[in-house]
Structure 1
């Protein structure tokens, strides 16, 4: 029987080809064959009376869903399909087209970094994805026809009376209910296509025209020849079709997701959509059509019951009949006992390329993609015209019945594409990263958009990354992006990571030196500033840090005594303008004035050991060992300078200076923060864990993290010492609990400690496989590192950071490379930008 059908099909297709060949007006011939009657009221009306409503779907981004979320999404599809009435065909069409990244050179910033990044990514190959869902209501009770009777071969027109206004309204209501249910959970966004989007306009091709001639999105209208012999060819594109239409080709098991081996490890399995291999992971031009035919359940079960009885009668004559009887019986039992929805399904992939030399490569890629789903690859050649034609939007009713198989909605929806490409943030504020698959540049807002969506309640961040993970490179890129978008940045650095960046943006770079040490004056109040509670609290935290050791407690009575001392000191300053506010005058006031107040009030030594307090603070007074530190006469211009780096590498191991200088810098930042209204502020503390390890500073850190949020600012703490996060209660209480955004780089060195780290950071289970997958399958042809970004445990995603050569040499911390940059900068008269360009040109010449 199948041989007869194939012969008849070949004959009819040959007649059709002859018709197209003989026509002196190919466009007119196509117009006659086109099954679409008209497009109006945002619907497609076919010549056979079928009515189609088309939707565009915005799917979740690839590599961003957990196993549970895949299962939830799968169940949403099943419930939505059960809403549709019998006679409806669900046609999901996913377009994947090869494009080239095109930066906006006209409107882009002319900064050294942005322009170099734009040139670096210009014309990078990327794979764009667009997902459409066509819901077709078949006219009357007409069943699916055989491939021989495709409307490609026998176009027809039915009476308009088959579709009345009430039927249209009822169908429209059903589609609206379907769309609302599909949008549940926030995974999928549904947008209904309009007439212009379906039929096109003089400026832009519509979906129907795009499918006919394989036009890319946003492409102008164009007419191409469609040839079926000797192979399927549309214009200059050679096409290949692969179908999943026979039960013999199906996998033994299917599910909502698979384990993606490239990103998985023994400790964590990385999930991906079951059909992702024929979707985003198939890196070529292709369209994946998914058809699900909803039929009357009772009629279908009755028909299968009849088939089962017939096979029962014939089972004695053939083992195949006995096996088919058992399969049919199992199908019926499952449908009735578990309330399954029986459907007919068909899936096909059409790949194409204008390069004839790529045909074998495309064949191998498509076959491998199907094999990853455990599907037997089957290329369709003779039936390619009908298969291609039924994929035309609005023509799902032409799907050949002999190209479908019986299954349930649960199994059919497993073959749906569930993910899409990474998307740009709509916010103007953000940082340029790349996607994991092809290195497509992505604009990502990791600050304002998460706040707006309610994922986080503050903008604070913590960054963890082992040595060599690309942490310094990423932080330089982040700080540069903040700066160029108008933010004020203060950075406490250890290791000279920001030296090159600071020079390029024209910032202040302060390095602690024995001959010219950093000097501060936390007691001085600038003109126009006020002594508020926050200022007093920061000074008190500083005094406690000077006075108390790690294991010494701080009593309530001592806190009250210090508060009174500061209050009376600033009253004393107001009454005596000749006295300059600094630590020396504060110490004199304590010794000469406040001692009498304590004596009059009868404060006992056990409540406040005043003599001990003065003795411990003596080294910071006058000619003491650290007398220079808190008595600065010249104020640093923090208010106007937008990029300031304090490099403390020379005192990073000093038990007294390092924590004190760090906390003084943070206090200065708080002062700057209070004055700048409506301007973004950020303070970054690089490897400053020693400064916050003291319990006396925990309150100040908590206060800083909470205060920054109120003044349109954020605090970022960076470290490569994961053990600090695991062992220090100060870190957990003062920082982790007040930083809603966690950023992790390569953590493979800490796999054995990751469960403990996950618990301390409050990371959900969804994030574990993402973190452990970092840099596991990087493209060796590109120089980049991956980064995991977690917003409040709600949104988790992995991106890549790929710097341009100019950015790389501006941010590099490799000593050898930094020396080269300085050498070429010196040769270019001290101009670092020209020096970097000269270095890159020299290396390109040497490699050539």
Structure 2
């Protein structure tokens, strides 16, 4: 008995594309196709209103197209692995970070949109009429030039409509029209046609054999296809979005697009094809009227016929009343694998995804080849009509997957965070690029997270990367959170000890006295002199200003005199008292005796005489990484506010003198000392001015009552911080409305914040999530996942810090200590 061998033909003879010309695909049926690559919104970043806005734009765009067009949206989801970049000079921590994520698997997404103009006289073709099944191919005459011009105009409007959705400075969709080389390929790179026919999106895609004898086999891959091509397979209604249970709470409703389960959430390599066929509306209505009349005449013989008549009535009434445009629709998912076990697992995933949408998928077997052939870019006009169903555009576009992966910003600098689905690293610029796009108007940041939420861990990760990218970082801490990092980078670490107190000399300046330095000295003197609830009168302010100015005139005339608080105090006590007497300044206008008495403890022999009279100049302006750890004096009513204010003055000096260098000041709980009435003007000045000097001020807090009950925080810090960063807020979930109102968070941002850490993947190890809002325009939740080396550097757990510094004492080298500790953690 002989086996019958089916004949084989060359792909060249059967492939449907006649030529690629002027960036268009021309099929052998004379169909003309324009192809685009789309950048879609990132997943988990849109609200219900955003999805509705997207759907409205899709509907409007499709309505712009003429009759006899096909819109074919083809989304590729391909399993890929993260490949770290290789930099010439990589630090210990950045190298460890890249090693940690090396070959991290993720699903890469590419979205293509093909708009095809078919011949107007073509009937609806079945699967037996397509180019794949026909023996002889006779190219049709090309369409009239005017018809083509009208079509291209419509395509241009289509794209502009899509690109116009979303905020002006952060549109949801961007497009790129594919060129002839990108479609057909070159000597060096495969084109999109080759990639599709080999199911390989790499530039080195090779042409492979197609086996259609038993289903579909592309090269070594056995293919499966699942489609929705019948109204009976659909739910009673479709939505623009559905509730994503994993991130939703009883207080929030987290949305994803209706078709998202068939997109990135499917979690395996596949192609999602979504078709919308635009026929002639009058002909469609006429056909439906005829079918309705025929069913109506047969309704007495079958209840089903009577029911179907009502369906046709409802469809036609909706069409005419609301001026809907009827379209034919098809949606399918193409998957592949190399073993039956792999294919069986994929079948389960696809069926579960369709079930989430309340759809009943049909696995295509005998017709898989025709559907695969119709999915060739530019060949949508060859798609079998029996695989489509009628609906309106509004319902049709609900089957379009609307999201893509998190992507890195276009900037070269920023912080490395991870996407929520797979942990793939992305470079996030939360300072410069948003400023250029006018998403934000300052670089200041406000960080809120309860104790244990990981805010110090996040800020360690952030400032470390800013420092490695050339920024000057000044940290004011009250808990030794940055000791490990400071030791590693060789920074300057100040902590207050009784036997070695911090000493400053704010009166020592280089060059001449300028306005900012003068203001900072006056602010310091006011803080030392007046209580929090005492106001400085205009006459007192003028007197202090005059005293500071005359003091520096005196220093200029007497270079031998050392600038310090001691010499300033003596100047006021002697020379300036005589000036006041000569000008007959009254005691009620400026009480010099009271001033000298209150500031006496800071003068020679006083309790705090060390504080403002340092005999050595600490050149902190040129030190790129400085930590002031003030835990030992955080509750001291005098030292804490004074030391904090002097630190702020140090940062002001950096602002003024370091031209073209990024400056960052991060203040943890120390900001409370700066929110007293006497210092409010100073902190307002800092937050409003720092952006002009390529700087940013960051405030970190954990107490909700501190921000809700403090007007200065609201007016000075929050209102001048366009970037808001929130950690896990579950401790505050019953009071979150207060936080939402204070930070002016939108309902979308509320849902994002409340989704933090709700679906962390145990397989990825220990990590946490963070919410970042840029001007209320761009808001996302990222994962903070780091290597073991970074973890031991950042950790705030006391037992782990003790172990790290014990290893430092043993080795005398911080990098070695970090490597040893990290190795121990890896070994469990």
Quote the residue 2:648 is aligned against. Answer: 666
1:336-485 to structure 2, matched below 5 A, reads: 336-485=320-469
Contact conserved, 2:65 with 2:151, CA < 8 A, in 1?
no
TM superposition shift of 1:160 = 4.9
Given the alignment, which residue of 67, 89, 96 partners 2:77?
96
Equivalent residues of 1:48, 1:156 under 8 A apart: no
Secondary structure (helix, strand or coil) at the match of 1:324 reads helix
Q: CA deviation at 1:550?
A: 2.3
- 1:652 is the counterpart of 2:626: no
Find the partner of 1:521 among 498, 501, 505.
Answer: 505
Query: Do 1:51 and 1:139's aligned partners in 2 also have CA atoms closer than 8 Å?
Result: no
Shift of 1:164: 4.1
Equivalent of 1:301 in 274, 285, 291? 285
Judge conservation of contact 2:270–2:336 (CA < 8 Å) in 1.
yes
The runs of 5 or more residues in structure 1 that have no matched partner are 1-16
SS in 2 for 1:766: helix
User: Given that residues 198 and 205 in structure 2 are in contact (C-alpha distance below 8 angstroms), is that contact kept between their aligned partners in structure 1?
Assistant: no
**Residue 55 of structure 2 aligns with which residue?**
74
CA offset digits 1:689-728 (Å, max 9, x no partner): 3312311111100111122111111111111112211111
Could you tell me how far apart the structure 2 residues matched to 1:157 and 1:624 are?
103
Alpha-carbon offset, residue 364 of structure 1: 0.8
1:210 aligns with 2:223: no
How far the C-alpha of 1:824 sits from its partner, in A, is: 3.0
TM-score under structure 1 normalisation? 0.94
**Runs of 4+ with >6 A deviation:** none
* Cross-structure match for 1:825: 808
2:20 equivalent in structure 1: 39
Please, which runs of 5 or more residues in structure 2 have no aligned partner? Answer: 166-170
Question: Deviation of residue 36 (structure 1)?
Answer: 1.0
1:341-366 Cα shifts (integer Å, max 9, x gaps) = 11000000011223442212111111
Rounded to whole Å, the distance in 2 between the matches of 1:784 and 1:778 is 8
Between the aligned partners of 1:306 and 1:820, the Cα distance in structure 2 is 83
* TM-score, with length taken from structure 2: 0.97
Distance 1:365 1:330 in 2: 35
Structure 1 residue 108: Cα displacement: 5.3
How has the CA–CA distance of structure 1 residues 22 and 400 changed in structure 2, closer, same or farther, with 3 Å as cutoff?
Answer: closer
Give me the CA root mean square deviation: 1.6
Q: Aligned partners of 2:62, 2:668: CA distance in 1, in Å?
A: 53
Q: Does 1:635 align with 2:620?
A: no
Residue 687 (structure 1) aligns with = 669
Structure 1 residue 653: deviation in Å?
Answer: 1.2
Deviation, structure 1 residue 494: 1.1
CA distance 1:732–1:843, change in 2 (3 Å): closer
CA distance in 1, matches of 2:327, 2:631: 68
What is the alpha-carbon distance in structure 1 between the residues aligned to residue 124 and residue 431 of structure 2? 52
CA distance in 2, matches of 1:812, 1:563: 46
| 2:527 equivalent to 1:542 | no
Of the three residues 516, 523, 534, the one matched with 1:552 is: 534
1:387: Cα distance to partner?
A: 1.2
Question: Following TM superposition, by how much is the alpha carbon of 1:166 offset from its aligned partner in structure 2, in angstroms?
Answer: 3.5
Would you say 1:500 and 2:484 are equivalent positions? yes
Q: Which residue number in structure 1 is paired with residue 186 of structure 2?
A: 201
Confirm or deny: 8 A CA contact 2:621 2:650 kept in the other structure.
Answer: no
Q: Deviations over 1:491-532 (max 9, x none)?
A: 111111111111111111111111111111111112xx4321
Give distance in 2, aligned partners of 1:540 and 1:758. Answer: 37
1:727 — aligned with what? 709
Provide the rounded CA distance (Å) in 1 between the counterparts of 2:221 and 2:807.
49
1:523 partner SS: coil
> Does 409-418 or 166-175 show the bigger shift?
166-175
Q: 1:137-152 alignment to 2 at 5 Å?
A: 137-152=117-132
Partner of 1:170: 150
Q: Of 791, 795, 799, which aligns to 1:816?
A: 799
| Number of matched pairs | 820
Give the Å deviation of 1:772.
0.8
1:678 and 2:663 correspond: no
- Structure 1 Cα separation of the partners of residues 215 and 623 of structure 2: 67
| Structure 1 residue aligned with 2:738 | 756
Contact 2:675 2:683 in 1 (8 A): no
The residue aligned with 2:101 is 121
* Counterpart position of 1:794: 777
Residue equivalent to 2:228: 244
